[in-house]
């Protein structure tokens, strides 16, 4: 059996890191939206072996292939970690060969690894005949990473806690996001998430109190303002302090096109929402002029 699962990227439209927890993680309030752009994961089930122990072991193995050499194929890859967790949690004795078509840039803050992990859980659940419920999958996703759970929803969500507490955005807010055109762009360099959080800790003053974060979100949901009014990311100051190419370009796009660009997650990818008539060729030209031809530029839509 062969299963193909779409693995979308996400952007954080609103990201308020509210403080550091006793366990070392950070609490947050965030509105995240999946994109129509993403990776593709194919899982091909391995036939069960016979009585021979070596054949059984081979049948229960998980392997990963990807055309990009920089994508790890070992235990550090969340696809393989998700596969082993699924097997342990469900008792499924099968195996799978994964083939990943990687489009989401690495080190971007677009959730590519977390999305791939959830795609692996979805694919294996199909191969295993639906052994896991949605509740089971959510519990597995929470073990794999803080922002994995959001990818179980094919819609914009509000994330809380360290990202594992997820609820679908209310309809009034969702309607203002659905189908919005967006340009996502990433420089040749990435930003390591652990570094970004460590820098926030060192700076100390970038956190937004949870009451203020919830207040901003509630106010936007209660009104009818466009999504541009909720855009926020308090991880930007730490990143912008070191990676000056980010704020310089965002300021240029604001001045030249009247956009409201933001960084997604811990970066380095940024995004800007576009009107239908926005000159994407001109925006792309300015991005590549600033960051060079190696910059990734993607025009897509919010799911």
Give the tens place of pLDDT for each residue, 231-261: 999 999 999 999 999 999 999 999 999 999 9
183 and 157 in a common domain = no
Q: Which of 142, 168, 194 is the last residue of a domain?
A: 168
Per the annotation, the verdict on 84 as an active-site residue is: no
CA 236 distance to own-chain centroid: 17
Instruction: Give, in order, the Cα–Cα distances in Å from 241 to each of 234, 244, 291.
Output: 12, 6, 17
Number of alpha helices (DSSP H) and beta strands (DSSP E) in the chain: 10, 11
DSSP collapsed to 3 states, 179-238: CCEEEEEECCCCCCHHHHHHHHHHHCCCCCCHHHHHHHHHHHHHCCCCHHHHCEECCHHH
Residues 139 and 260 in one domain: no
- The pLDDT, as a whole number, for residue 10 is 97
- One domain for residues 145 and 112: yes
Share of residues in the chain with pLDDT > 70 (%): 95
Q: Quick check: 55 pLDDT over 90?
A: no
- Structural domain boundaries enclosing 30: 2-168
Is the pLDDT higher at 114 or at 146?
114
181 and 293 housed in the same domain: yes
Q: Which of 10, 27, 102, 186 is catalytic?
A: 10
pLDDT surpassing 70 at residue 60:
no
- The most confident of the ranges 21-25, 36-40, 52-56 is 36-40
Tell me, yes or no, whether 106 and 243 share the same domain: no
Token code pair at residue 271: 């995004």
Q: From CA 242, how far away is CA 167, in angstroms rounded?
A: 34
Domain boundary among 168, 202, 229: 168
Which of the following is catalytic: 27, 102, 147, 186?
Answer: 147
Confidence at residue 146, expressed as pLDDT on a 0 to 100 scale = 84
Q: How far apart are the first and last CA of the chain?
A: 29
Average pLDDT over residues 296-301: 97
Number of domains composing the chain: 2
Query: Do 156 and 88 share a structural domain?
Result: yes
Q: Is the model's pLDDT at 298 over the cut of 80?
A: yes
For residues 45, 76, 16, 38, the Cα torsion angle rounded to the nearest 10 degrees is -40
8 and 136 housed in the same domain: yes
CATH number of domain containing 66: 3.30.230.10
Same domain for 24 and 103?
yes
Q: What token pair was written down for 70?
A: 């920089």
- pLDDT at res. 75: 84
Query: In angstroms, how far apart are the furthest CA atoms of the chain?
Result: 69
Distance of CA 17 to the CA centre of its chain: 16
Higher pLDDT residue, 228 or 50? 228
pLDDT at 9 exceeding the cut of 90:
yes
Q: Does the annotation mark 10 as catalytic?
A: yes
82-113 pLDDT tens trace: 999 999 999 999 999 999 999 999 989 999 99
- In the predicted structure, residue 53 carries a pLDDT above the cut 80: no
Can you give the CATH number for the domain in which 281 is found?
Answer: 3.30.70.890
185 and 155 within one domain: no
Across 192-214, average pLDDT: 96
pLDDT-derived band at 269, boundaries 50, 70, 90:
very high
Q: Residue 207 has what pLDDT?
A: 97
pLDDT digits (tens, 9 = 90+) for 143-195: 998 889 999 998 999 999 999 899 999 998 999 999 999 999 999 999 999 99
**Structure confidence by residue, pLDDT tens digits, 117-147:** 999 999 999 999 999 999 999 999 999 988 8
Statement to judge: residues 129 and 230 lie in one domain: no
Please indicate, yes or no, whether residues 70 and 9 belong to a single structural domain of this protein.
yes
Q: How far apart are CA 209 and CA 183, in angstroms?
A: 30
- Same structural domain for residues 118 and 240? no
Q: Looking at 121, 147, 168, which one is the last position of a domain?
A: 168
């Amino acid at each position: 059996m062969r299963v193909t699962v779409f693995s979308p990227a996400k952007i954080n439209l609103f990201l308020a890191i509210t403080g550091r927890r006793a366990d070392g993680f950070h609490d947050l309030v965030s509105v995240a939206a999946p994109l129509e752009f993403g990776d593709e994961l194919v899982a091909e089930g391995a036939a069960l072996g016979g009585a021979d122990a070596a054949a059984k072991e081979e049948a229960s193995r998980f392997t990963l292939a990807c055309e990009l050499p920089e994508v790890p194929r070992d235990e550090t890859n969340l696809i393989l970690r998700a596969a082993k967790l699924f097997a342990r949690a469900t008792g499924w004795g099968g195996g799978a060969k994964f083939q990943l078509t990687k489009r989401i840039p690495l080190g971007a803050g677009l959730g590519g690894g977390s999305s791939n992990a959830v795609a692996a859980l979805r694919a294996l659940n199909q191969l295993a005949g639906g052994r896991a419920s949605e509740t089971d999958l959510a519990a597995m996703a929470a073990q794999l990473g803080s922002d994995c759970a959001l990818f179980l929803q094919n819609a914009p969500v509000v994330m809380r806690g360290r990202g594992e507490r997820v609820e679908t955005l209310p309809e009034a807010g969702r309607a203002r996001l659905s189908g919005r055109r967006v340009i996502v762009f990433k420089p040749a360099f990435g930003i390591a998430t652990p570094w970004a959080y460590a820098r926030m800790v060192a700076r100390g003053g970038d956190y937004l109190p949870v009451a203020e974060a919830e207040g901003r979100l509630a106010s936007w949901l209660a009104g009818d303002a466009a999504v541009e009014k909720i855009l926020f990311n308090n991880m930007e100051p730490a990143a912008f302090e070191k990676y000056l190419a980010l704020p310089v370009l965002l300021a240029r796009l604001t001045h030249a096109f009247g956009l409201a660009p933001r960084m997604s997650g811990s970066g380095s990818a940024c995004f800007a929402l576009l009107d239908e008539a926005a000159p994407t060729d001109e925006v792309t030209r300015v991005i590549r002029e600033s960051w060079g031809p190696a910059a990734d530029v993607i025009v897509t839509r919010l799911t």
